[in-house]
């Protein structure tokens, strides 16, 4: 058998070995494909590092499109700079796989029915793009970014983090946006109901439960009118302080999030750990990133372990999950990096112990960066701020995409 045209091996994520074998045989003259079972190996961060993957193929065949779309969104958020290619047949199910791949945000689509020269040109373009892409690039997205922060137990500072980060994100967006203001929404679903709104000093009568009931008619005008807004420009949608028994309807939550992510560039959700099962089939699958907030107290470490076990049970412990350590003090015997290593999580930030400064600013009805913008806590938030897609840029269809869409007669903005 002759050597492939391209002297490189590419990783193919697919839940079906038969599909992987078919794609490998079709591409054997062009490039070597190595199969990774996406049902088992997605949660293994070491796989991408081991394969040194900069270009990754995802199976968008008829029965795998939804699964591949979920993986695409996860990888685009947590692996900046990686080039993601969909693979499948443009003629299958009237091009449903092509449209699913475009909506999910892949860079391009490999139509296995296309001629070899077209596929070779596409692969070379993808490899060149991966070679020259800076490691810190964050791929553009066609919808808003959903980041879920989850305090592993009450009192670890998750709500304080969301309040400050949301206000900073909204203010930064106003200062930096070239074409329009960036829109930031804070979903206040934390341990103590309404804490984010309390820290921001805002109150409103339109609650999360109201938004759930009104999801079918929610539009930008209603959101701008009904949802309360902080001076920074960040909108805040909170739980009612009245405790309601039972979990919210999954379909209602999904419909609401679809609407909100179409109107906001960034949605930051402060979620209570005990509420994880309530959102296992709605909010969690739609999240681009999941940040677990903990401190270094023994009780918090135990709670962190329990939280990870719960995420594993809910099939949500994957590449999106990262760690934020709050109230970090160098005097602790176990540094933040060691804790992250122990639980095999990437450490996004170690926020210093600044309870007194945060309390003093709160007593004055202000956020810490309003009083002391150079405080160590505010500086430590910068790595988290840099992970937010504040400019809401839309991905423009490439020539290859336009060609495929012309073939199948599809429109990327048409919803099913």
- Which residues 6+ apart lie within 8 Å of 414 measured at CB? none
38-94 tens-digit pLDDT: 776 554 455 565 556 678 899 999 888 888 888 887 777 666 668 889 999 888 766
For residue 37, list its beta bridge partners: 14
Under a CB-based contact definition with an 8 Å cutoff, are residues 380 and 352 in contact? Answer: yes
HSE toward the beta carbon, residue 404, CA cutoff 13 A: 32
Please name which of 184, 384, 364, 151 lies closest in space to residue 275, comparing C-alpha atoms: 151
Under a CB-based contact definition with an 8 Å cutoff, are residues 265 and 235 in contact? Answer: no
Residue 79 pLDDT: 66
- CB-count burial class (<10 Å; 0-12, 13-18, 19+) for 115: exposed
Under a CB-based contact definition with an 8 Å cutoff, are residues 329 and 352 in contact? Answer: yes
Reading the chain (416 residues) residue by residue, the pLDDT tens digits are 567 888 888 989 898 899 999 999 999 999 999 988 877 655 445 556 555 667 889 999 988 888 888 888 777 766 666 888 999 988 876 677 888 888 788 888 999 999 998 899 899 888 888 876 554 443 444 578 899 999 999 989 999 999 999 999 988 755 544 445 678 999 999 876 678 888 888 887 888 888 888 887 788 888 888 888 898 889 999 887 665 546 788 888 988 998 898 889 999 999 999 999 999 888 998 898 999 999 988 999 999 999 999 999 998 888 889 999 998 887 766 788 888 989 989 899 999 989 898 888 888 888 889 888 899 999 999 999 988 887 633 333 345 555 665 555 544 443 33
End-to-end CA distance of the chain: 44
Residue 70 pLDDT: 81
Please name which of 268, 252, 246 lies closest in space to residue 197, comparing C-alpha atoms: 268
Sign of CA dihedral 371, 180, 145, 348: negative
Residue 302 pLDDT: 95
Residue 161 pLDDT: 94
287-319 tens-digit pLDDT: 989 999 999 889 999 999 999 999 999 988 888
Angle, CA of 111, 117 and 122, to the nearest 5°: 55
Residue 60 pLDDT: 92
Sign of CA dihedral 49, 50, 52, 53: negative
Residue 19 pLDDT: 92
Q: What is the DSSP string of 81-143?
A: T-EEEEEE-TTGGGGHHHHHHHHHT-SEEEETTS-HHHHHHHHHHHHHHHHHS-TT-----SS
Sign of CA dihedral 128, 133, 138, 141: negative
Gap between the Cα atoms of 159 and 308, Å rounded: 20
Q: Report the DSSP pairing between strands 228-229 and 235-238.
A: antiparallel
271-281 tens-digit pLDDT: 999 999 999 88
Coil, helix or strand at residue 297: coil
Gap between the Cα atoms of 283 and 139, Å rounded: 21
Beta strand spans in 135-225 (E): 145-151, 184-189
Residue 329 pLDDT: 81
Angle, CA of 235, 164 and 239, to the nearest 5°: 45
Residue 64 pLDDT: 86
**Tokens linked to 9:** 């091996």
Distances (CA, A) of 353 to 207, 224, 300, 347: 32, 36, 15, 17
Gap between the Cα atoms of 239 and 72, Å rounded: 31
Residue 244 pLDDT: 54
């Amino acid at each position: 058998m002759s050597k492939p045209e391209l002297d490189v091996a590419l990783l193919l994520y697919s839940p079906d070995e038969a599909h992987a074998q078919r794609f490998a045989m079709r591409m054997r003259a062009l490039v070597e494909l190595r199969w990774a079972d996406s049902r088992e190996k997605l949660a293994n961060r070491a796989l991408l590092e081991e394969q040194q993957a900069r270009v990754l193929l995802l199976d968008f065949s008829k029965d795998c499109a939804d699964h591949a779309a979920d993986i695409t969104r996860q990888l685009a958020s947590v692996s900046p700079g990686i080039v993601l290619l969909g693979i499948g047949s443009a003629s299958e199910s009237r091009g449903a796989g092509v449209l699913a791949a475009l909506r999910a945000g892949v860079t391009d689509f490999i139509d296995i029915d296309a001629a070899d020269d077209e596929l070779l040109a596409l692969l070379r373009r993808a490899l060149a793009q991966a070679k020259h892409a800076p490691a810190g690039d964050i791929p553009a997205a066609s919808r808003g970014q959903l980041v879920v922060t989850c305090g592993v137990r009450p009192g670890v500072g998750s709500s304080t983090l969301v309040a400050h980060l949301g206000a900073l994100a909204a203010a930064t967006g106003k200062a930096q946006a070239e074409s329009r203001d960036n829109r930031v929404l804070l979903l206040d679903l934390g341990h103590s109901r309404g804490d984010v709104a309390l820290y921001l000093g805002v109150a409103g009568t339109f609650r999360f439960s109201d938004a759930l009931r009104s999801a079918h008619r929610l539009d930008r005008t209603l959101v701008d009118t009904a949802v309360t807004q902080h001076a920074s420009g960040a909108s805040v949608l909170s739980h009612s302080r009245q405790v309601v028994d039972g979990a919210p309807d999954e379909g209602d939550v999904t419909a609401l999030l679809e609407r909100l992510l179409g109107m906001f560039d960034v949605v930051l959700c402060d979620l209570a750990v005990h509420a994880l099962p309530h959102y296992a089939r709605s909010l969690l699958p739609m999240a681009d990133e999941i940040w677990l907030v903990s401190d270094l107290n023994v009780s918090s470490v135990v709670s962190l372990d329990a939280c990870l076990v719960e995420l594993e049970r809910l099939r949500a412990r994957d590449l999106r999950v990262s760690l934020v350590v709050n109230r970090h003090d160098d005097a602790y015997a176990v540094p933040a990096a060691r804790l992250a290593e122990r639980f095999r999580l990437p450490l996004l930030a170690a926020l210093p112990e600044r309870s007194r400064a945060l309390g003093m600013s709160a007593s004055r009805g202000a956020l810490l960066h309003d009083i002391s913008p150079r405080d160590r806590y505010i500086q430590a938030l910068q790595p988290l701020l840099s992970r937010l897609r504040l400019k809401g840029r839309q991905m423009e269809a490439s020539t290859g995409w336009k060609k495929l869409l012309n073939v199948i007669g599809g429109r990327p903005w048409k919803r099913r």
